[in-house]
Amino acid sequence: MPDSVKGDITQVMNVTRLSIRWIAILVVGSVIVLLGIRRYQNEVSAISVATFAGAPSDGLVRVVGRIAAGSVTLGKEGQLFDLTGEKAAIRVRYIGQENDDIRDLKMLVMIGRWDADGQVLVAERTALAPRIEFVVAAYFVGLAPLALFLFRMERKVEQLYTEIKEEVIYMPEKTR
């Protein structure tokens, strides 16, 4: 087989291996992103007070809002306060552990169930309001340049490898 044909076949094989590696990296990255989105939707995201007030849910909900000024009172069944959004407000009874986060004008996510009889959200836990857009931006700013750098370096190594093989000085090792 002529050397030019061997070189062409080798180059095609190298490009194919490179493509397969990057396709595998993209597939793994896509799976990680999808798992992250699923976790965000199930465990981090919260609905607004207005959305919840329009159609209360029977199950466990995560409602984000600001505690209305002057509405926090301590009762025998827990802390009572109004959680407000842009266009609506709901009454919340917090029955979880004592929490310093429950104070006037604090933005929180209340995790609990709707009590239709008392027209109140019975919250068992609190969480800080997520600002996921900042987290995503930080990961993107950090990982995008790294991915571009790795891609560029892999291409350069492949080119150097090909150049060394094509040099007259390069001789394959002799087998004993």
User: 124 and 93 in one domain?
Assistant: yes
Position of tokens 């799976």? 31
Rounded distance, CA 129 to CA 107, Å? 6
The answer to the question of residue 173 being in a domain is: no
User: 116 and 72 in one domain?
Assistant: yes
User: 77 and 35 in one domain?
Assistant: no
The answer to the question of residue 176 being in a domain is: no
Which residues span the domain enclosing 143?
Answer: 3-42+139-165
Q: Mind listing the pLDDT tens digit for each residue in 110-145?
A: 999 998 887 899 999 988 877 777 878 888 888 888
Rounded distance, CA 50 to CA 48, Å? 5
Q: Mind listing the pLDDT tens digit for each residue in 78-122?
A: 899 999 988 899 999 999 888 788 889 899 999 999 988 878 999
Give me the number of domains the chain comprises.
2
User: 54 and 8 in one domain?
Assistant: no
User: 29 and 53 in one domain?
Assistant: no
